[in-house]
Amino acid sequence: MAYLKLYRKKLQENYKFLDDLFQVRNIEWGIVSKLLCGNKTFLKEIIALGTREIHDSRVSNLKKIKSLDPGIQTVYIKPPAKRSIESIVKYADVSFNTEIYTIQLLSEEAKRQNKTHKIIIMIEMGDLREGVMGEELIDFYKQIIHLPNIEIRGIGTNLNCLSGVMPTQDKLIQLSLYKQLIEAKFNITIPWVSGGTSVAVPLMLKNARPMAVNHFRVGEALFFGKDLFTGQTIQGMHNDVFKLYAEIIEITIKPDTPTGELGENVAGNVFTPANDDLGGTSLRAILDIGLLDMQPQYLTSEDENISVVDASSDMLVVDISHSIREYQVGDVISFHIQYMGALYLMNSSYIDKTVA
């Protein structure tokens, strides 16, 4: 069976790199754990790092985190659905919000549970996912500021996740101005300006982060050490906290082009042969993993001379013709994976998850 391995020491070193970066700038931050899909083995690893704040987009995952360490502050990082209000108040200390109606429901439920529920008001800054429109923010704030059992912990924004809008210095300065506007209008203090995600880490490294942005939520940079502006690995971080291992179940020399009438394959694709492939052959290996578990475009073999051909529902085909290693059936091939690739793998119950 294919398996995904987390390398503890590399994770620890990435965490220390980020924690040092945030501490010296007096920035609070939490780990976004949604990549881990509630896997308790891996959740225990991130709790062991020493974090006191974990973010997730699934209530079931926050419930698991609370069962492992009730003292960790849990943050639900998308606007709550009506059907989930009770469990969100129960298992999330903080939630991200954009609807007055939803916050009213949170207020009523927090009162029933005898709790104070904290909220972050998300503001639309151009990426066109969740967020209150800027021109409506003051009126929005006015309608929720006195709701019982609700503490407005801060304001925030999401960038890059939907439309790819980058968190430039100008964008974050604009977010900081919303903080000043609200504080002046209502004579209050907003503790958090949550404008930082993994994609904004490079701004800190360049000292281009506006000082008012004092809260970050980080997942991809922790697990993959990636600079999302350049696509490169941040100097001093690891890009291989996770690796995928899959076993060879067949090795055969086969033609490079299929024979017969061609139609759509299981993924809905139609094979288009290249002229260079006509009449050619290659040494192909089939691995014990498929589209039920992963997407091949997010995998890169550690053996640089192996290329991914394609996958069906349960098998991955790779070309090992140019490898200097003489692979045998039963050998294991290891892969570097991208963030979305790890997400597919973590969400598959067919992939074993281990820690090294």
Cα distances (angstroms) measured from residue 314 to each of 1, 37, 309: 11, 21, 14
Sign of CA dihedral 66, 337, 315, 251: negative
DSSP characters for 135-195?
A: GGHHHHHHHHTT-TTEEEEEEE---SSSS-----HHHHHHHHHHHHHHHHHHT----EEEE
* Catalytic residue (choose from 34, 63, 90, 115): 34
List phi, psi (to 5°) of 23. -65, -40
Alpha helices (runs of H) in the chain, residue ranges in sequence order = 8-23, 40-48, 59-68, 85-91, 100-112, 137-144, 169-186, 201-205, 220-224, 339-346
Per the CB < 8 A criterion, the answer to whether 194 and 176 are in contact is: no
Structure tokens at 46: 């991130």
Does 34 qualify as catalytic in the annotation? yes
What phi and psi values does residue 110 have, to the nearest 5 degrees? -60, -35
Structure tokens at 95: 């939630």
CB 221 within 8 A of CB 234: yes
Residues recognised as catalytic = 34
